[in-house]
Amino acid sequence: MIQKLIEKIKKTNAPICVGLDPMLSYVPEQILKEAYSDCGETLSGAAEAIWRYNRKLIDATCDLIPAVKPQVAMYEQFGVEGLKAFQKTVEYCHEKGLIVIGDVKRGDIGSTSAAYAAAHLGKVTVGTNAYAPFDEDFATVNPYLGTDGIQPFLDVCGEEGKGIFILVKTSNPSSGEFQDRIMDGRPLYEWVGEKVAEWAGSCMEDSYSNVGAVVGATYPEMGKILRRILPKSFILVPGYGAQGGKGADLTHFFNADGLGAIVNSSRGIIAAYKQEKYQKFGAEHFEEAARAAVEDMIADIDGALRAAN
Amino acid sequence: MIQKLIEKIKKTNAPICVGLDPMLSYVPEQILKEAYSDCGETLSGAAEAIWRYNRKLIDATCDLIPAVKPQVAMYEQFGVEGLKAFQKTVEYCHEKGLIVIGDVKRGDIGSTSAAYAAAHLGKVTVGTNAYAPFDEDFATVNPYLGTDGIQPFLDVCGEEGKGIFILVKTSNPSSGEFQDRIMDGRPLYEWVGEKVAEWAGSCMEDSYSNVGAVVGATYPEMGKILRRILPKSFILVPGYGAQGGKGADLTHFFNADGLGAIVNSSRGIIAAYKQEKYQKFGAEHFEEAARAAVEDMIADIDGALRAAN
């Protein structure tokens, strides 16, 4: 799957993904009104609203970008109905040729991790049939439980040709509480990075591995170190835009070949119409605001990468 | 919620929970056959089978135990249909008066963690209505992202009177890869334990906190240390039975008041009929085998606690 992602990044010249993290407060009034009128002010109405919102966002940006990253929590909060909208979103993105990175941050052990891997990347067998329940292309995974938690994902990646991004250094302010603690002279995130490099080695697909890392845009210096520790892994970089990361901070996340990183923006794109810069589009043209924000993000990163080389 | 759990533990004299982690391979042939005949060899058929299996297990054990711990991955692997079965299971356990510990191991940051907390313990607002999507009583949470990931759960626990168990030292063989690493002279799990104690302090409900810790039965010496670090927290102890933990290993997880721990067994109970010891019940009476295994587990732990005092 990493080669498919690379191909699409090269084609679009856009090492970015759009975070489909639809909070109800982002969804324009008109869409909410119509969805509630059709389905009531219910979980089903909320799910319908975020699905309609997503569909317009996807239609407006899919030719510019290689991938999307739906955050499953934003769907799970609406229960079973929300997860139906998640599934529909994944399917629709695939129809539109987009790669889907399921931001699920799952992590457990043994047969439980295997069940999560099957749910999101693989297949489950029921009697004589096999089904791919959510069928994302990549999933994010939490490393706290060690190899027992990761191996079932590696197995499924091998079988299905899919990929994972393992949390190494997250973008949030308190990520250092545990991740930056020094052990044997090096912070935990470096030790996790070393382990990710080892796991990545077992999942190579040509020049890159199907096993990547999550490193926040908000920590560029740490990104520089992890780039060296993980030469064969893609780094999924959240925290661009709304969380404070800028194009110029991102150059160290890339390899000399111009590849190796994919930068995510969620709110900065999907709720762009709420920013002063894109206000002119208005809520009724929120998807055009999103498109403009995608174009600006691509230009910002491209400019930063050119300036650095 | 912790006081409700304590009350139920005292009433049943059973500091245990049954892990409702229904693998299809545990479900007796007859139930599978009927479910597939009604719903086909589909995700919906699989979900129906695990729901019917769960219902019989709950009916057969609910008077003996205070709580159950469904592992959401085992439902999520069957997609939306599986999550419907999860929801039905939680509702049915509540009808039967059981406390439900959702083993979801979620963990993210900010608004995302808030969405998970709302999904599993709290409520979401849709228009003028509020809904509790999955409505468990406790949820398990991953600490890797630090306070930013935990605070939204603490907020919901405060608002809704619910609780969480934070992963500290997990039961699996490779849990030491990161959790045992020494930082400033102490292993990571102790530092996580110290932080859990701090979070627990902000969520007290009388003598105990609504914030507990997960510490595997397979590491009794570490349980002893964490018991001291976390005097006001309940410890959720997985790894009893099938994973190798025994009653005699568990005494250190309890406080001098006889409280402070709740021990989980999953496969050892719900698939007891597959063990030599309970074979006489046969697959057709799997729920009676589960009941006998619950009785034996309670006696084992009670005996160990009496011997230690």
* Token reading at A178: 């545990």
Per-residue pLDDT tens digits for B176-201: 999 999 988 899 999 999 999 999 99
Chain B residues with CB inside 8 Å of A82's CB?
119, 133
Do the chains contact at B42 and A142, CB–CB below 8 Å?
A: no
Q: Could you tell me how many helices (H) and strands (E) chain A has, helices first?
A: 12, 14
Has A274 been annotated as catalytic? no
Contacts of B268 (CB under 8 A, 6+ apart): B240, B241, B242, B275, B293, B297
Do the chains contact at A124 and B46, CB–CB below 8 Å?
A: yes
With a cut of 90, say whether residue A266 has pLDDT above it: yes
Chain B residues with CB inside 8 Å of A112's CB?
21, 71, 73-74
With a cut of 80, say whether residue B243 has pLDDT above it: no
Q: What is the pLDDT of residue B116?
A: 98
Chain B residues with CB inside 8 Å of A183's CB?
181-183, 188
With a cut of 80, say whether residue A242 has pLDDT above it: no
> A177 vs chain B: nearest CA distance in angstroms?
6
Do the chains contact at B146 and A108, CB–CB below 8 Å?
A: no
Please list, residue by residue across B165-181, b when 16 or more beta carbons sit within 10 angstroms of its beta carbon and e when fewer do: bbbbbbbbbbbbbbbbb
With a cut of 80, say whether residue B104 has pLDDT above it: yes
> Does residue B36 or residue A244 have the better pLDDT?
B36
Cα distances (Å, whole numbers) of residue A269 to A37, A90, A184, A293, B216? 27, 18, 41, 6, 42
Q: How large is the average pLDDT for residues B220-235?
A: 95
Q: What is the pLDDT of residue A275?
A: 96
The single residue of A8, A88, A96, A105 carrying the catalytic annotation is A105
Q: What is the pLDDT of residue A245?
A: 67
With a cut of 90, say whether residue B302 has pLDDT above it: yes
With a cut of 70, say whether residue B242 has pLDDT above it: no
- The 3-class secondary structure across chain B, one letter per residue, is CHHHHHHHHHHHCCCEEECCCCCHHHCCHHHHHHHHHHHCCCHHHHHHHHHHHHHHHHHHHCCCCCEECCECHHHHCCHHHHHHHHHHHHHHHHHCCCEEEEEEEECCCHHHHHHHHHHHCCCEEECCEEECCCCCCEEEECCCCCHHHHHHHHHHHHHHCCEEEEEEECCCHHHHHHHCCEECCEEHHHHHHHHHHHHHHCCEECCEECEEEEECCCCHHHHHHHHHHCCCCCEEECCEHHHCECHHHCHHHCCCCCCCEEEEECHHHHCHHHCHHHHHHCHHHHHHHHHHHHHHHHHHHHHHHHHHC
Q: How large is the average pLDDT for residues A268-290?
A: 97
With a cut of 90, say whether residue A227 has pLDDT above it: yes
Q: How far is C-alpha A96 from the geometric centre of its chain's CA atoms? A: 17
With a cut of 70, say whether residue A268 has pLDDT above it: yes
Q: What is the pLDDT of residue B247?
A: 82
| pLDDT band at residue B309 under the 50/70/90 scheme | confident
With a cut of 80, say whether residue B150 has pLDDT above it: yes
What domains does chain B contain, in order, with CATH numbers?
2-308 (3.20.20.70)
Do the chains contact at B106 and A107, CB–CB below 8 Å?
A: no
| B256, B281 contact by CB (below 8 A) | no
Choose among B9, B15, B7: nearest CA to B305. B15
Answer yes or no: pTM beyond 0.90: yes
| pLDDT band at residue A243 under the 50/70/90 scheme | low
Q: How large is the average pLDDT for residues B6-16?
A: 97
With a cut of 70, say whether residue A75 has pLDDT above it: yes
Q: Which among A78, A80, A173 is the nearest to B148, CB-wise?
A: A173
Average pLDDT, chain B: 95
Per-residue pLDDT tens digits for A84-133: 999 999 999 999 999 999 999 999 998 999 999 999 999 999 999 999 99
Do the chains contact at B115 and A45, CB–CB below 8 Å?
A: no
Per-residue pLDDT tens digits for A142-156: 999 999 999 999 999
Q: What is the pLDDT of residue A246?
A: 78
Q: How large is the average pLDDT for residues A25-46?
A: 97
Q: What is the pLDDT of residue A85?
A: 98
Find the closest chain A residue to B33 by CA distance.
Answer: A127
With a cut of 90, say whether residue B162 has pLDDT above it: yes
Give the separation between CA B237 and CA A168, rounded to whole angstroms: 27
Give the separation between CA A212 and CA A141, rounded to whole angstroms: 10
Per-residue pLDDT tens digits for A197-218: 999 999 999 999 999 999 999 8
Q: What percent of chain B has pLDDT over 90?
A: 92
